[in-house]
Structure 1
Amino acid sequence: MSYLLNLHALGALLGMVIVLLLTRRWPQNKRILVLVFNLCFLYLFSRKLFLFSAVYVLLNYIGYVWLCYAPRWRRFGFGTAIVLNIGAVVALRLLGMHIFEHPLFDAIYLFGLIYTVLKVIDAYYFAYYVGKDGKAPLLDFVNYLLFIPTFTSGPILKFRDFIADSKKPYTVGAADFEAGIKRIILGLFKKVVLVAGMTIVFKDVLENDLQVYHSLFLMVWFYALIYFDFSGYSDIAIGFGRLMGYTIPENFKQPFLSPTLTQYWRNWHATLGDWFRDHIFMIFSRSFTSRGAAALLSIVIMVLIGLWHGFSWLYLLWGLYHGILMALESLLKLSLVNKKKVSRPYFYFRCVCTQLLVTAAVIVYSGSQETVLTIYRGLLNW
């Protein structure tokens, strides 16, 4: 997400933190001032995105409140709300691919929707299962969906956690301030120094007539590059979230020490994996309890994660690849490895195997069919 690397955006965020620190004696400073900041930031960033987001959030708040109190038709309303939100994402994806045309379409809408829709669906789940006790004020609902540090690239916030944070007073002290600043600096170092330099190297090597060793290097190099890219943004978001008085969940939990793909997806972009597991796997696994059903659900979830990243055959194949491997892990009872119950050599051997499987398909994240095919063709050039 590029706007958090913009000096004006960074200055605005730091300015907001200073305002919160200066108004800490006002019990509602965190809720009201963050709302004003979120709306002003979006308005200045893109008036089209601001208008789109305002309409989208208000419509979903109406549906959310109705679902909290509805005595009848709750399941139908819940399902309809989910389908409509997913349909909005699909429609914008197709418009962005120029499969359909509409004069009002702007790519900026998808930019603001891709992560927001996941949070909207989580709010609907909360309303459906908790009912009227789960109703949150409009102010907090808007802050949850439009919270600038996590607006377009996560980590994905859970509705119940964010609302609980909103009820707490702003209590950021010296230790929290220091930790938040350090986390932001770490993220900026990853994004501005490491990713920028590694991208230059990647592009330079890619311009060669690739041999097998070039392709292998590029796959490993790109894997490291996207780790620093994704985790760097997460560091910035977590740091600013802490300074604004909100706890942002960790997105990367030592993914390179994951002995299975199942465990890897709990540690790499962890909040995305958690979202799909909580909203799809946990729901359907209650009705389909067999190991085969769990394996099939793994394939479905990974395909959905692939298509969530982009509507292309590359991401579809990427999802099938990971899903089938995770299904095999489930069927063969290899989904979990407890480090305390196995030998160190075996544990690290499994970690290496997992990383090799991930590296084999990681280049798909480049989003470029030409790049992916070029690198894979290089593997055949001895």
Structure 2
Amino acid sequence: MSYLLNLHALAALLGMALVLMATRRWPGNKRILVLLFNLCFLYLFSRKLFLFSIAYTLVNYAGYVWLCHAAKGRRLLFGTAIALNVAAVVSLRLFDMDVFEGTWFDAIYLFGLIYTVLKVIDAYYFAYYVGKQGKAPLLDFVNYLLFIPTFTSGPILKFRDFMADAKKPYTVSAADFEAGIKRIILGLFKKVVLVAGMTVVFKHVAGLELHVYHSVFLMIWFYALIYFDFSGYSDIAIGFGRLMGYTIPENFKRPFLSPTLTQYWRNWHATLGDWFRDHIFMIFSRSFTSRGAAAVLSIVVMVLIGLWHGFSWLYLLWGVYHGTLMALESLLQLSIVNRKKVSAFYFYGRCVVTQVLVTIGIVVYSGNTDVALRIYKGLLNF
């Protein structure tokens, strides 16, 4: 997320943490001051995004409260709320792709909606399954959706966890502050030093006439680049979240030691994989319990993850590719490898195979169809 690399934004976030530490004796400091900070930050960043986010949040809070208290028609209301939110994302993506045109459209709306809609849907799930006991105050609902450290690039917060954190007083110790600062520095090193330098190398090599060794290098290089980029942002978000008194979930859990693709997607961008598994796979798998149904659901989930990243045939094929491999793992009962029950050679061998399969499709993350196709064509140029 670009604004977290801005010195003014970093100073504002650090200043907010210091204000919270200075006002720790005020019981409501975390909830109220973080709300004011979130709103002021968005207002200064973009007036359009600020107004859009406020309107979007208030409309969904009304739907969320309605669902919490609804005695009848809960399933219809639940489904309608989710469908409308998905439709909003789809519509904005189509406007962004110039499929539709409208004078009101601005790409900044999509910037603030991609991750927010996942949190909104999680809140609706909570309201649907918990009912009126799950109702949260407007103040905490706004903070949940607009929490600046995770606003546009995650990690994706779970509604119940954020609300539990909101009830706790601000108790960041000196050790917590030190750990948060170290995590932020690590993230900045990844983003500012490693990613910046590696991007220059990637663009230089990608601009050459590609042969098979160039393409293989670019795939591996881009895999490392995208890891440092994603994990670097997560480090910054987790660090600032800790300084503000909120626990942000880990997004990367040693993904390179994943012996299967199923386990890989629990470790790489873990909160995204968890979200789709919790809200789609687990819900439908209750009705379709066969191994074949699980395999089909794996394909559906990965296609949806691909399309969530972007509406293009390349992302669609990426989803089909990963989904098909995970479906085969399910059908062949190879989805889980218990490290304690297999030999080290078998475990690490499976890890290598998994990383090779991931590397084959990783350049899709570049978001540039021409670059991705050039790299794949280079594999055929011996």
Matching residue of 2:356? 356
Deviations 1:261-291 (A, max 9, x none): 0000000000000000000011000000000
Matching residue of 2:213? 213
TM-score normalized with structure 1 length: 1.00
Within 2, Cα distance between the matches of 1:145 and 1:262? 29
Counterpart of 2:157 in 1: which secondary structure? Answer: coil
Matching residue of 2:261? 261
Q: Which amino acid is the alignment partner of residue 98 of structure 2? A: H
Q: Which amino acid is the alignment partner of residue 24 of structure 1? A: R
Counterpart of 1:363 in 2: which secondary structure? Answer: helix
Q: Which amino acid is the alignment partner of residue 85 of structure 1? A: N
Matching residue of 1:316? 316
Is 1:369 the counterpart of 2:358 in the alignment? no
Counterpart of 2:231 in 1: which secondary structure? Answer: helix
Q: Which amino acid is the alignment partner of residue 65 of structure 1? A: V
Is 1:154 the counterpart of 2:135 in the alignment? no
Deviations 1:152-209 (A, max 9, x none): 0000000000000000000001000000000000000000000000000001111111
Q: For residue 148 of structure 1, report the CA deviation from its aligned partner.
A: 0.0
> In percent, how many aligned pairs have the same letter?
82
Matching residue of 2:295? 295
Q: For residue 19 of structure 1, report the CA deviation from its aligned partner.
A: 0.4
Q: In the TM superposition, what are the counterparts of 1:237-248 in structure 2 within 5 Å?
A: 237-248=237-248
Within 1, Cα distance between the matches of 2:328 and 2:209? 36
Within 2, Cα distance between the matches of 1:377 and 1:315? 17
Deviations 1:266-321 (A, max 9, x none): 00000000000000011000000000000000000000000000000000000000
Counterpart of 1:288 in 2: which secondary structure? Answer: coil
Q: How many residues in Structure 1 have an aligned counterpart in Structure 2?
A: 382
Is 1:229 the counterpart of 2:229 in the alignment? yes
Matching residue of 1:107? 107
TM-score normalized with structure 2 length: 1.00
Matching residue of 1:271? 271
Within 1, Cα distance between the matches of 2:59 and 2:379? 50
Within 2, Cα distance between the matches of 1:75 and 1:363? 40
Counterpart of 2:256 in 1: which secondary structure? Answer: helix
Q: In the TM superposition, what are the counterparts of 1:326-365 in structure 2 within 5 Å?
A: 326-365=326-365
Matching residue of 1:7? 7
Q: For residue 251 of structure 1, report the CA deviation from its aligned partner.
A: 0.1
Counterpart of 2:292 in 1: which secondary structure? Answer: helix
Q: Which amino acid is the alignment partner of residue 210 of structure 1? A: L
Gap regions ≥5 residues in structure 2: none
Counterpart of 2:371 in 1: which secondary structure? Answer: helix
Deviations 1:105-146 (A, max 9, x none): 000000000000000000000000000000000000000000
Matching residue of 2:18? 18
Q: For residue 215 of structure 1, report the CA deviation from its aligned partner.
A: 0.4
Within 1, Cα distance between the matches of 2:16 and 2:55? 25
Within 2, Cα distance between the matches of 1:359 and 1:14? 37
Matching residue of 2:59? 59
Within 2, Cα distance between the matches of 1:148 and 1:195? 22
Q: Which amino acid is the alignment partner of residue 123 of structure 2? A: A
Q: Which amino acid is the alignment partner of residue 177 of structure 1? A: F
Runs of 4+ in 1 over 4 A off after TM superposition: none
Matching residue of 1:306? 306
Counterpart of 1:210 in 2: which secondary structure? Answer: coil
Q: Which amino acid is the alignment partner of residue 143 of structure 2? A: N
Q: For residue 347 of structure 1, report the CA deviation from its aligned partner.
A: 0.1
Q: Which amino acid is the alignment partner of residue 364 of structure 1? A: V
Within 1, Cα distance between the matches of 2:125 and 2:335? 27
Matching residue of 2:73? 73
Q: For residue 73 of structure 1, report the CA deviation from its aligned partner.
A: 0.6
Q: Which amino acid is the alignment partner of residue 249 of structure 2? A: P
Within 2, Cα distance between the matches of 1:171 and 1:206? 49
Within 2, Cα distance between the matches of 1:282 and 1:57? 27
Within 2, Cα distance between the matches of 1:204 and 1:94? 32
Counterpart of 1:253 in 2: which secondary structure? Answer: coil
Deviations 1:75-97 (A, max 9, x none): 00000000000000000000000
Q: For residue 343 of structure 1, report the CA deviation from its aligned partner.
A: 0.1
Matching residue of 1:183? 183
Deviations 1:197-249 (A, max 9, x none): 00000011111111100000000000000000000000000000000000000
Gap regions ≥5 residues in structure 1: none
Q: Which amino acid is the alignment partner of residue 4 of structure 2? A: L
Q: Which amino acid is the alignment partner of residue 158 of structure 1? A: K
Q: Which amino acid is the alignment partner of residue 349 of structure 1? A: G
